[in-house]
Amino acid sequence: MNLTLELKVLADVGLVGFPNAGKSTLLSVVTSAKPKIANYEFTTLKPNLGIVSMTDYRTFVMADIPGIIEGASEGKGLGHYFLRHIERNSILLYVIPVDAKDLKKEFEILNNELKKYNPELIDKDFAIFFSKSDLMDKELLSELEAIIKKDFKKIPYFIGSSINMNGIKSLKEGLWKILN
Ligand SMILES: Nc1nc2c(ncn2[C@@H]2O[C@H](COP(=O)(O)OP(=O)(O)OP(=O)(O)O)[C@@H](O)[C@H]2O)c(=O)[nH]1
Ligand SMILES: [Mg+2]
């Protein structure tokens, strides 16, 4: 008998995003994991896990997975074989950098690639983290937030930066709330 065993990462929160969105950097600032971080696409080639520790002994597990691009379900980029690692995550956190050309389009592409891989994935609870907020000044950020409120109605979202740590505490608390 031949047996194929497949190891699927089991985490509470799975990070989903385009390459270079800041997923690994986020994992590195909210957990003690030390994933490789670099300013080029597809730095992460396999999932990384970390434990987010909060006050009152609260903890949850976060998984950083490789970046996804349009066409991943047809094998573009790293393909989508690693998406099996988010099948068992309780919730998904889409990571979209604030300097993305079109926030909504980026979200829709990611969502669509997930759906093509496994329609059940998009039935999971999810939230969006708009990353790299340090790249924008206050004024630009408030303009952006107005757009987000209009384009992402009812979707829980967070805005923050892994560089200056703005918004990271609210992100952790928000994820905890969704998980519980
Ligand atoms: N300004 C700014 N840069 C950031 C932030 N987070 C990450 N970066 C930078 O963005 C680049 C990509 O970061 P990674 O964390 O490697 O991105 P990733 O989403 O894991 O990328 P892949 O592994 O390729 O999917 C690096 O140069 C980081 O230093 C942030 O909050 N602000
Ligand atoms: Mg990475």
From 3.40.50.300, 3.40.50.2300, 3.30.413.10, 1.20.1250.20, which CATH number describes the 13-179 domain? 3.40.50.300
Tens place of pLDDT for every residue, the chain, 180 residues? 999 988 777 899 999 999 999 999 999 999 999 999 999 988 988 899 999 999 999 999 999 999 998 888 787 888 777 888 888 889 999 999 999 999 999 999 999 999 998 899 889 999 999 999 999 999 999 999 999 999 998 899 999 999 999 999 999 999 999 999
pLDDT at residue 74, rounded to an integer: 81
How far does the centroid of ligand 2 lie from the alpha carbon of residue 118, in Å? 22
pLDDT at residue 84, rounded to an integer: 82
Ligand 1 atom with the smallest distance to the CA of 28 is 15
Q: Residue 52 and residue 150: Cα distance in Å, rounded?
A: 31
Q: What is the pTM of this model?
A: 0.94
Q: Where are the domains of the chain?
A: 13-179
Q: Residue 150 and residue 75: Cα distance in Å, rounded?
A: 33
Nearest CA to ligand 1 atom 16: 37
Cβ(88)–Cβ(98) below 8 Å: no
Nearest CA to ligand 1 atom 1: 132
| Mutate-to-test residue for ligand 1 from 25, 80, 85, highest number of ligand atoms within 8 A of CB | 25
Report which secondary-structure segment, H or E, holds 1. none
| Mutate-to-test residue for ligand 1 from 18, 37, 132, highest number of ligand atoms within 8 A of CB | 37
pLDDT at residue 141, rounded to an integer: 94
How far does the centroid of ligand 2 lie from the alpha carbon of residue 20, in Å? 7
Ligand 1 atom with the smallest distance to the CA of 40 is 24
* Sign for the pseudo-dihedral over CA of 32, 156, 102, 98: negative
